[in-house]
Structure 1
Amino acid sequence: MASKKRRRSRASKPGRLSRWLVRLGLLALLGGVVLAGYMVYLDVQLRERLDSRQYQLPARVFARPLVLRNGMVMRPDELEAEFAALNYTENAEFSEPGQWTREGMDYRVWRRDFVHPDGREPAAQVSFRLRNDEISNLRDESGERLEKFRLDAANIGTLLGGGDDRNPVRFDDIPPLLANTLIAVEDQDFLNHFGVSPRGIARAMVANIKAGHVVQGGSTITQQLVKNIFFDHEPSLWRKFNEALMAILMELHYDKGYILQEYINEVWLGQQGSRAIYGFGLASEFYFQKPLDTLEPQDIALLVGLAKGASYYNPWHNPERSLERRNTVLELMAEQDLLSPEELERYQAESLGVATAGESAQNPYPAFTERLMEELRPYYSYEELRTAGLRVYTTLAPSVQKLSEDAVSNGAETLEQDRGIQADSLQAATVVLENGTGNVLAMVGDRRPHYPGFNRALEARRQIGSLIKPAVYLTALERPFDYSLITPIEDAPIRIEGDNGDVWMPQNFDKRAHGQIPLYLGLVKSHNLATARLGLDLGLENVQQTMRRLGVQADLPRVPSMLLGAAELTPFEVSGMYQTIANGGENVELRTLVAVANAEGERVQFFRPRSNRGVDPVPAYLLRYAMEQVMREGTGRSAYRRLPGSVPFAGKTGTTNDYRDSWFAGFSPGVTAVVWLGRDDNKRTSLTGATGALKIWTEIMRQLPHRHGRVQPPRGVEFKSVNKRGQYMNPEYCRGGMEFPFSYETKLEPAPECRGRDRWRWFRDFFGGDRDQQEAAPREEMTPGWGIDPDEQQRRRERERREQELQQQLRRDDRMQQVPQVEDEPLELPPGEDERYQEEQRRAEEERRILEERRRRNEELRRSRGEGAPVEEAQPWPPDEEDQWP
């Protein structure tokens, strides 16, 4: 029995084993079917996600591109500041785009490829000479002459903070050294495995066992990409299983180049508040303020090292740890023959070289960006600006913005130290504009320029003090039959009682009345009494209308004190008002926005400047002339200690009651700038416009290029010499006086001492016409524009007068020849006319001799003075004054 049982037992074991094998086979088949189905499911998820995936990108903002032109005014330091903003490097080898070199004053620049709103411009080289602050000899790399050459535009940040942010790059734009370094550090079998690397897993296990803790992971680059796209970072076996399956599927559908490109764009490399920094493209700008293709090997090593743990190796918070990690990556690069031993030693000795945290802000120009958002809002929704990846092209000039920021920050601190003001109590704002286009070149809303708080340039409404006075004088100059620059006005006490019993009694800064003064001097010396009387004579409503035509849309109080600055405007609004004056009366709408393109760089919308003629050019020019005298002899004259005297700056100081606000607004032929200084609590600063804001304004203007030479008057303006009584001094009969511009419609009383004795007028009328009428006729060669020196005008008028005398003599000779004559007989004149003709000839010759002697002495005097100014009698100026209004 026992043996039978043993035989049955032996017979049953193979049967049970086979049944188990069948069961296992069925289970394996079922598992394979389930796994296959699951992989099909994962495959569908993977392909749908990757094929339809679009990055949600905030709008990227670009500065205006610098356009180099022959004849363009440009200083070397400004040009090189533009290169710095573009992160161009000076390199004598000149080996790749993004570099510049200089030999003496000869420059060569290699522009990067860039997509402008009007199309892509490829990388290209240009050479030019910068001599006497002017660009010349502009040529391309083949030597062909160019009229202009546009550089690429600097990326100055993104709009709307928070969320994921990245700057995707294409595979062709990835530096080879970055790709090879990533493979060497993260996945050395990347080019050979199928998504999962058993050898890499084994290598990581050995390294971890030797270290006694986890020092190396076994995930491939493909697995890390899957994890970044589909999963969170919580460790689990199920997640690792799914990573492996999806990595295999990804390798089946996509090539290695695409996988590496997506990993480079997807890896997390830092955090800035609620803003997450993804991808090497954005990380390059975030940490180094450079495009990815310009990074040095040590920079690439730092970014690759951050992929292991951006928070742990943060170069700002943990610089020593970050430096150690970077040098470890450099060693791995050398082991893979990506660096030579000499290069390894050199790059490991370099500092981290990261930008400051403030420079790496998502929005480094908060004041400018706030205005930009206002202009974008009517056309694009919040969601479009946050996710559509728009490319926004602006007017900001990085070099002008930088010097404005430095001038405001350093100027406020210096004033506090020099004048004993409480530290950090002063605040400031400035706006810098391009006159002809209305482009906002720079805007600073806080003495800490990168602080995204209260924007005083746009939001701080403060009383403007004497900045309103040009509008009063412009209103008068628009009435040429009643007012000119030398019309006498009264600077005398004034008392006005309001309906509520309040009494308004303004006074001058020096507490004195100056009696009757010429109109222009009331503006130059900023006399309150003269301005108030003039404004009341003109009418408050008329002055308000002038402000409207100058571009000011804010509410203005219709009270007498408005004439002296009791109106609240922002620095941005003031800049628009003064830019209209600088433009000769043409009001160009201020703008920060130029164009918007979609994520691919295709142009979507272009925004052109809008303008209208607010003021006639003739009174605008007369006002400008008076404002130039403010800078030469008035409250703004201290600026010329640091500014070139050959540039016709014009401007106005402003100081409000109890020294609460210090203002200066002024312009050159090309640029307008406005500066405000004050305290947020509106307390006393002890600064006037001249002792505060003017200093910062001068520092800004000192560093900008400007056109030299006087401004040419428009048609309808002529310069005439007048005496102290405002009477016309005809240069044909007397010397001296002061030369002023006048409207052709203005009638001047001739000075009695300059009328001269003209006994032979009938003779000149008969032979040469009425000289006075000829001189009074409009000269057709006078055309609107800039750049003609009034001194040159005086010399031209002198040449014209001599030419007229010569023409009169020629006509006289011609007429003598036309008198009927008998051959071989002498000319016979009526009795007595022979002696009269000879006397006339003698007097004409004497007049020519006197005029020639006068011209010679005048030329000698000008040469001795080293200038071309006409001879003038010295004119005394009243004592200097400030322009506080009570």
Structure 2
Amino acid sequence: MAKTRRGKKSSLWRGLLKFLVWMAALGAVVVAAYMVFLDIKLRERLDSRKYELPARVFARPLELANGRVMHPDALEAEFDALGYKRVDLADDPGEWSREGMTYRVYRRAFVHADGKAPAAVATFTLRNDEIRNLKSGADNPREFRLDAAFIGSLLGGGDDRSPVRLSELSDSLLGPTLIAVEDRYFVHHFGVSPRGIARAFRANLEAGEVVQGGSTITQQLVKNIFFDHKPSLWRKINEALMAVLLEFHYDKGYILQEYMNEVWLGQQGSRAIYGFGLASQFYFQQPVTALEPHQIALLVGLAKGASYYNPWRHPKRALERRNVVLDVMHEQGLIDDAQLKKYRAMPLGVVAAAGVGQNPYPAFSERVVQELEPYYSYEELRTAGLRVYTTLAPSVQRIAERTLEQQLEKIEKDRQLQEKALQGAIVLVDNATGEVLTMVGDRRPRYPGFNRALEARRQVGSLIKPAVFLAALEQPRFYNLMTLLQDTELEEQMPNGDIWSPANFDKRSHGMVPLYLVLAKSYNQATARLGIELGVESVVNTLRRLGISADLPRVPALFLGAAELTPFEVAGMYQTMANGGEHVQLRTVLAVTGPDGDDLQSFRRRAKRSVDDVPAYLIRYGLEQVMREGTGRNAYRRLPNSIAFAGKSGTTNNGRDSWFSGFSPDTTAVVWIGRDDNTGTGLTGSTGALPVWTEIMRQLPHRHGRVVPPRGVEVLRVSDKGERMGRCSGGREMPFSIETELRAAPGCEQGRDNLRGWFRGWFDRDSQQQQREQQRRDSERMTPGWGIDPQRERQQREQEERRDDEEEPLSLPQGWRR
């Protein structure tokens, strides 16, 4: 009986064991099958994974060259925009130093649109605000180009990152610090670290709360790629299994690099900051390779919880966490005692929160997107990681932003206006190239809201008048700068029966006034009479040739500024007059490449001769008199008298809009001031926009001396009635088209001097050549600012003269065609 009982018991155990073996085998099959499923899922995801990166935008690179004018403030503003650090002696990329007026700058390696430039050192001296003795190593280069400042990315929101390669970080403490803090056994474990789990368990037990996690870097990478951050046992099991698989297929270097690019390190609205590459720019405006140990410590510390340790919202927490990481770095021998003491005593050093936008120049970037839209889809701009090289000049942008804010505050205070009541917009353009140097669309330049430079259509007032006078000067047999115009009251009946009767600003009539003075003084009555003589269509045609494509009212009020234009459109109109009648299509984009600098597409200068150079010179002279005798004369109280500035103020009814648009031989600038609700400001163009324009132009470089008249222009002495003075004394010198026939003043007939006049026509060419030679010498005398290279500028102008009426095609690589 006992034997039977023992047999039954043994049989039961054998059955149970057999069941357990079968269950274990089945479990092993299920686990194996699940592991195969996870393996397929992991490899498919990682092997096909491609970062979705917004287009990266860069400013124009600063080019240093002997003879180029560069004020120390402007030069150092360019260094700031690049995130270059001032040190005692620049010995590492991204540093600059100064001893007296001798500079040393260590350029970072950079991928330009036309190829890669290696890291290199240059030294030069600033003497009288001019670069001299430029050297790089043993060479004396013609120019030394710095890297282009990163100015933001396009189409914000969503996930954003700037991927780094582990090979770029071989000299950085980032990798060792990350391993020391996040996963000390990273190089030894196979995805899951029992020692790490045990260490975390003990630390949590001692603290009585969760203070440490046992996840490895590999597990964290798996979590970032495949799972959300909600804690659960099933997620932890999957993390562990996939971490083992990840270690089986990929080496440690790949895993660490991917983690560096995947870890979440901050948030800005809807924009998530992923990876140390972007976080370095976000918090310090520095490339990750340029970070110092205390900066690396802060970023590594943020990996534990970027919201909890946010350095702007919780600076005390962030500082404590950074110092904990520094202690670990010291414990692991990454920094010595002196460095630990030094870096623990340093502040966080993050940039101002207002300056970390995905797009710090929203007004300019909006135009960049507009120019790229015909060639790239929204998806390409948002995800393809394109590199966009632009025309933005950081130091000029800084001048414009600062000046607008300061001047608006001053105007509001002086006129007792409500604080922040006024708004403004600014556009600056290079006359010869059409490159947009600066665009400000809001007195808060970092605010990505309504872009007044591109979108605010406001009546332009007297800014449009030069088109009326240009239309007249294109008829040299009938009109010239001294043609007397009648400035008296007039009434013009409109098609609807209304009577249009414009008045002058001073409510007075001035009788017969020379054409140039009507322009300089901005007399409405005389301008309206001239426009009616010419006809609305003639003026509209002139505006079209100056570059205005907007809808224009076909009514006489057009002559006095009834058209609604944006500051950007006004800049294009005045650029044509500033550039001698050659209209250049304004552009913000120079080139676009793929993420690695390949697949280059160049956006070349597109220009055409739209106004003959003789009337273009004459209207320029008239606008110069606006600055000398008319509504812009206050500018010369702060500007050098030796520079040929030209421009025009504009004011609309009740002072709703205050405009000034003008140019030097090199740069056109447009300023608008007003209220968004379109109510009156009490400002004219001269009291509102002109001071802003003047202060900006005062800080930029310009050529001195007269602008040389083109062939076909002669300078004559005339009376105040526009009569040739001939052999008589007195009168004033004025430029005229050689097609203009002037009467001689009574008693001043030429007589035998006619022969001398005949000979003079032959010698005019020599005289003009002498003027040009003098202009060449004058061009090398410059005022301080963001930099002009006289020799290079002359060569460029000669090339551009040969390209008159040419439109250079845009080359679109096959790989980027839509």
Structure 1 and Structure 2 fold alike (TM over 0.5) = yes
How far off its partner does 1:525 sit?
A: 1.2
Structure 2 residue aligned with 1:171: 166
Distance in 2 between residues matched to 1:788 and 1:470, nearest whole Å: 30
| CA 1:523–1:792: 2 relative to 1, 3 Å | farther
The alignment yields a C-alpha RMSD, in angstroms, of: 2.4
State the one-letter code of the partner of 1:395: T
Q: Corresponding residue for 2:127?
A: 131
Q: 3-state SS of the aligned residue for 1:362?
A: coil
Quick one: which of 673, 677, 682 aligns to 2:673?
Answer: 677
1:57 alignment partner, SS class: coil
Q: Which residue of 2 aligns with 1:256?
A: 252
Secondary structure at the residue paired with 2:354?
A: coil
Query: Residue in 1 aligned with 2:390?
Result: 394
Name the counterpart of 2:736.
Answer: 742
- Preserved contact between residue 297 and residue 322 of structure 2 (Cα < 8 Å): yes
Q: Tell me the CA shift for residue 532 of structure 1.
A: 1.6
CA distance in 2, matches of 1:310, 1:786: 65
Measure, in 2, the Cα distance between the counterparts of 1:159 and 1:567: 32
What are the equivalent positions in structure 2 for 1:256-655 lying under 5 Å apart? 256-655=252-651
Say yes or no: does 1:771 pair with 2:756.
Answer: yes
What are the Cα deviations for residues 395-434 of structure 1, in whole angstroms up to 9, with x where unaligned? 2222222221222222212111111112222111111111
The separation in 1 between residues aligned to 2:567 and 2:770, in whole angstroms, is 28
Mapped contact 1:497–1:503 kept (Cα < 8 A) = yes
1:261–1:99 distance in 2 versus 1, CA, 3 Å: same
| One of 27, 46, 52 as aligned partner of 1:31 | 27
Question: Could you tell me which amino acid in structure 2 is paired with residue 746 of structure 1?
Answer: T
Conserved in 1, the CA contact under 8 Å of 2:705 and 2:775?
no
Pick from 182, 192, 196: which aligns with 2:192? 196
The alignment status of 1:721 with 2:717, answered yes or no, reads: yes
For structure 1, which segment, 22-31 or 53-62, has the greater mean C-alpha deviation from structure 2 after superposition?
22-31
Aligned length: 777
Q: CA deviation at 1:547?
A: 0.8
Contact 1:709 1:788 in 2 (8 A): no
Matched-pair contact (CA < 8 Å) for 2:481–2:515: yes
Determine the C-alpha separation between the residues in 2 that align with 1:747 and 1:790: 29
* Secondary structure of 2:96's aligned partner: strand
The alignment's TM-score, normalised by the length of structure 1, stands at 0.84
Is the Cα contact below 8 Å between 1:75 and 1:705 reproduced in 2? no
Q: Report if aligned partners of 2:671, 2:692 keep a CA contact under 8 Å in 1.
A: yes
Higher relative contact order (CA 8 A, sep 6+): 2
Q: CA deviation at 1:37?
A: 3.1
Contact 2:172–2:289 under 8 Å retained in 1: no
Counterpart-to-counterpart distance in 2, 1:669 and 1:575: 14
Deviation at 1:208, TM superposition (A): 0.5
Paired position in structure 1 for 2:765: 780
1:45 aligns with 2:41: yes
- What's the offset of the Cα at 1:91? 2.0
AA in 1 matched with 2:733: E
Structure 1: how far apart are the matches of 2:254 and 2:367? 40
CA distance in 2, matches of 1:77, 1:463: 37
Given candidates 212, 219, 225, the residue that maps to 1:216 is: 212
Residues in 1 aligned to 2:627 and 2:531: alpha-carbon distance in whole angstroms: 23
Q: Does 1:146 align with 2:131?
A: no
Residue 226 of structure 1 corresponds to 222
Contact 2:468 2:539 in 1 (8 A): yes
SS at 2:506's partner residue? coil
How far the C-alpha of 1:538 sits from its partner, in A, is 2.0
Which deviates the most, 607-616 or 784-793? 784-793
Between 1:211-220 and 1:733-742, the stretch displaced more is 733-742
SS at match of 1:551: coil
8 Å contact kept, 2:124–2:132:
yes
Give 1:137 deviation, angstroms.
3.3
For the pair shown, which has the larger CA radius of gyration, 1 or 2?
1
| Cα deviations by residue, 1:103-143 (Å, 9 ceiling, x for unpaired) | 3333222221111222222222223333333333333222x
Q: Measure, in 2, the Cα distance between the counterparts of 1:154 and 1:682.
A: 37
How much does 1:356 deviate?
Answer: 2.2
Asked whether the equivalents of residues 550 and 580 of structure 1 are also in contact (C-alpha less than 8 Å), the reply is yes
**In the TM superposition, what whole-angstrom CA distance separates every residue of 1:351-405 from its partner, at most 9, and x where no partner exists?**
2221222211112222112222221212222222222222222222222222212
Match of 1:157 among 143, 152, 157: 152
The code of the aligned residue for 2:142 comes to E
Quote the Cα distance in structure 2 between the aligned partners of 1:342 and 1:657.
Answer: 68
Q: How far apart in 1 are the matches of 2:130 and 2:116?
A: 28
Q: Which amino acid aligns with 1:312?
A: Y
Q: For the structure 1 residues 371 and 790, does the alpha-carbon distance in structure 2 shift closer, same or farther, using more than 3 Å as the test?
A: closer
Q: Is the 8 A contact 1:715 1:784 kept in 2?
A: no
User: 1:69, CA displacement in angstroms?
Assistant: 3.2
Contact 1:664/1:690 (8 A) holds in 2: yes
Cα shift at 1:67: 2.4
SS in 2 for 1:473: helix
User: What is the CA–CA distance in structure 2 between the aligned matches of 1:723 and 1:406, rounded to whole Å?
Assistant: 46
**Structure 1: how far apart are the matches of 2:777 and 2:658?**
37
Q: CA contact under 8 A between 1:714 and 1:782: conserved in structure 2?
A: no
Q: What is the rounded CA distance, in whole Å, between the counterparts of 1:590 and 1:786 in structure 2?
A: 30
**Counterpart residue identity of residue 361, structure 2:** Y
* Offset of residue 240 of structure 1: 1.6
Q: Percent identity?
A: 64
Deviation at residue 170 of structure 1 after TM alignment = 0.6
Stretches of structure 1 that go unaligned for 5 or more consecutive residues are: 794-886
Residues 340-349 or 283-292, more deviating? 340-349
Shift of 1:26: 4.3
- Report the alpha carbon displacement of residue 682 of structure 1 after superposing the two structures with TM: 1.2
Distance verdict in 2 for CA 1:674–1:756, change over 3 Å:
closer
Q: Which moved further from structure 2: 685-694 or 360-369?
A: 360-369
Give the equivalent residue in structure 2 for 1:836: none
SS for the counterpart of 2:173 is helix
Partner SS state of residue 199, structure 1: helix
Name 1:97's counterpart in structure 2. Answer: 93
Query: 1:40 and 1:497 mapped to 2: Cα distance?
Result: 87
**1:352/1:449 CA distance change after superposition, 3 Å:** same
> Aligned partners of 2:740, 2:101: CA distance in 1, in Å?
50
Find the aligned partners of 1:542 and 1:785 in 2 and give their Cα distance.
37
Q: CA deviation at 1:264?
A: 0.3
Q: Tell me if 1:659 matches 2:655.
A: yes
Q: Could you tell me how far 1:9 is from its partner in structure 2? A: 5.2
Offset of 1:38 from its aligned partner?
2.7
The Cα shift of 1:776 comes to: 2.3
1:776-822 alpha-carbon deviations (Å, 9 max, x no partner): 236334779997669999xxxxxxxxxxxxxxxxxxxxxxxxxxxxx
Structure 1 position 729, deviation (Å)? 3.7
CA distance, structure 1, for counterparts of residue 90 and residue 571 of structure 2: 42
Q: Is the 8 A contact 1:711 1:788 kept in 2?
A: no
Tell me by how many angstroms 1:24 deviates: 3.9
TM-aligned CA distance change 1:40 to 1:423, over 3 Å? same
Q: Does 1:668 align with 2:671?
A: no
